[in-house]
Amino acid sequence: MPNRQKRKAEEKRSREPRATATSSVLRMSATKVRRVTDLVAGAKVDDALTTCDFLPHRAAPEVKKTLLSAAANAIENCGLNEDDLFVENVQVNEGFTIPRIRPRAQGRAYRIRRRTCRLTITVGEREEE
């Protein structure tokens, strides 16, 4: 009987092809990135890219770059059709926090937390009826 790792690898190979792209360190908080990704999730890739173009948020260009990379991976590596691509899954996880010190009155110091996040976008192919 195969062990768990072999079984998981077999399941992964047998699934339909999915393309992912990851931005490992974005220098903004996860909640700010989620504002953009909530609008993009589940949409066709063309519509999602247009949405990112017109959003005023600072995270929109970063999401667009990752989405373009995921779409390129889907076309080149998985051989998926460009017109049927849609945003299948979006994950925004918290990354590391960079501590900074802010001087305050009477010799005190306040801590500033510079938050980061990780963005993973999965693109799949939807069959049109």
Residue 109: inside a domain, yes or no? yes
Q: Which domain holds residue 95?
A: 17-125
If phi > 0 it is left, if psi is from -120 to 50 it is alpha, else beta; for residue 42 that is left
Dist CA 45 CA 126 (whole Å): 11
The whole-model pTM stands at 0.82
Tens-digit pLDDT profile for residues 14-65: 666 678 999 999 999 999 999 999 999 999 999 999 999 999 999 999 999 9
**CATH code, domain carrying 51:** 3.90.470.10
Domain count, the chain: 1
The DSSP secondary-structure symbol of 106 reads G
